[in-house]
Amino acid sequence: MTTLNNDFLLSLLKKYKNDILMNYNDGFSKRSLQNYEKGSIRTSEANIIYCIMREFGYKNAIDIGLGPAFSALFFAKALKDSNRHGMITSI
């Protein structure tokens, strides 16, 4: 079992650095979303979610919160970039 400590998370960010930069340039940031109101997740945290989804091959995710489902965008992008089909449930 992998421990999600700071060193491991940093290694994921390095591994997926180019993909994260491409996502940012493609508009995956809060600044690029029209009418975005502040939610509870930061872009840096959403990037970690993206990396974890890619690294472990998760196919399903649950987005729980009151915000505009910003994290769900990163769940979906991770699935797409990994060529996996799955389900994202947002409640």
Q: Of the given ranges (5-9, 30-34, 62-66, 82-86), which has the lowest mean pLDDT?
A: 30-34
Helices assigned H by DSSP within the chain: 6-15, 17-25, 43-56, 70-81
Q: What is the mean pLDDT of the chain?
A: 89
What pTM does this model have? Answer: 0.87
Give per-residue pLDDT as tens, 7-32. 999 999 999 999 999 999 998 887 77
For residues 24 and 33, give the distance between their C-alpha atoms in angstroms, rounded to a whole number: 11
Reference 88, options 63, 52, 51; nearest CA is 63
Give per-residue pLDDT as tens, 66-83. 777 888 999 999 999 999
pLDDT of residue 24: 92
